[in-house]
Amino acid sequence: MVDAMFDGLGTVWSFTTILVPSPSRPDPYTLAYVDVDNGPRLVVDVSEAEAPNLRVDARVELYIDKNGRASAAVAPRGAHE
């Protein structure tokens, strides 16, 4: 594997909300597949507050949340810097 840098913007390919409890996550939680601009497709967390705004083909900004997880927000660029 090789480290790579991406610009932090992408498009939602698909997403799901998981209702099954997990010891490491509060339930429910939402995960999204995001096609990163000029990069790979990633699976990322979506915050509870952002989940209602999510839709397929939505433009999102990627960031690392306070738990160190890759996350996505439907928000203007720079909102999570």
Examine residue 46 and state whether it is found in any structural domain, yes or no.
yes
pLDDT mean over 11-26: 91
Examine residue 81 and state whether it is found in any structural domain, yes or no.
no
Looking up residue 21, the CATH number of its domain turns out to be 2.40.50.840
Q: Name the phi and psi angles at 9, rounded to 5.
A: -120, 150
pLDDT score, position 36: 93
Examine residue 3 and state whether it is found in any structural domain, yes or no.
no
Examine residue 27 and state whether it is found in any structural domain, yes or no.
yes
Distance CA 64, CA 81 (A): 9
Global confidence as pTM? 0.80
Q: How many domains does the chain have?
A: 1
- Whether pLDDT at 81 is above 60: no
Examine residue 59 and state whether it is found in any structural domain, yes or no.
yes
CA contacts within 13 A on the Cβ side of 16: 4
CA angle (59, 8, 20) in 5-degree steps: 70
Distances (CA, A) of 43 to 34, 72: 6, 9
Examine residue 45 and state whether it is found in any structural domain, yes or no.
yes
Examine residue 80 and state whether it is found in any structural domain, yes or no.
no
Examine residue 2 and state whether it is found in any structural domain, yes or no.
no
